[in-house]
Amino acid sequence: MPTTRLPENIAALVDRLQLLEFEWRGRCVQIPRFAVYAVLQAPVFSRFLSRHGRRMGLICIEPYEIPVLDPFMADLNTPPEYVVIISHSKGNKFGLFGYPADLVRDNLQLGGEHAAVNQIVKAFC
């Protein structure tokens, strides 16, 4: 049985993976576009909180409270230039969280069979 690098429900629809790439503190992160809920410019944090020893920001957009955390496990002390909001689901539960970004690029694509596709999508499927 052949395996596909993209989830079956997506692989049947596309032959290229669209990516959003963001930079945070000089490091790049690539996320499949299908996992991005929104990109906010000049976000405003409602407050800061600490969870599991990490300081993060919280954005309140009714009816959601969206935690914004550093993808490299550092504390987040000030609002960034952008926040990339990621959607995730497990079973029938849906949630949102955000990553801070200094710069966002959303016009990247990879062929569906590219070796990096599996690595990029595995955390979001």
For residue 96, the enclosing domain spans 8-124
Mean pLDDT over the full length of the chain: 85
Tokens encoding 6: 């993209």
Assess contact for 108 and 21: CB atoms under 8 A: yes
- Summarised one tens digit per residue, pLDDT across range 20-72 is 999 999 999 999 988 999 999 999 999 999 998 999 999 999 998 999 999 99
Give Cβ neighbours of residue 55 (< 8 Å, ≥ 6 apart).
Answer: 48, 49, 75, 76, 77
Q: Which residue has the higher pLDDT, 92 or 44?
A: 44
Tell me whether residue 102 is in a domain. Answer: yes
Domains in the chain: how many in total?
Answer: 1
Tell me whether residue 83 is in a domain. Answer: yes
Question: Residue 88: pLDDT above 90?
Answer: no
Tell me whether residue 90 is in a domain. Answer: yes
Question: Residue 102: pLDDT above 80?
Answer: yes
Tell me whether residue 3 is in a domain. Answer: no
SS3 61: strand
pTM for this predicted structure = 0.81
Tell me whether residue 48 is in a domain. Answer: yes
Tell me whether residue 1 is in a domain. Answer: no
Tell me whether residue 2 is in a domain. Answer: no
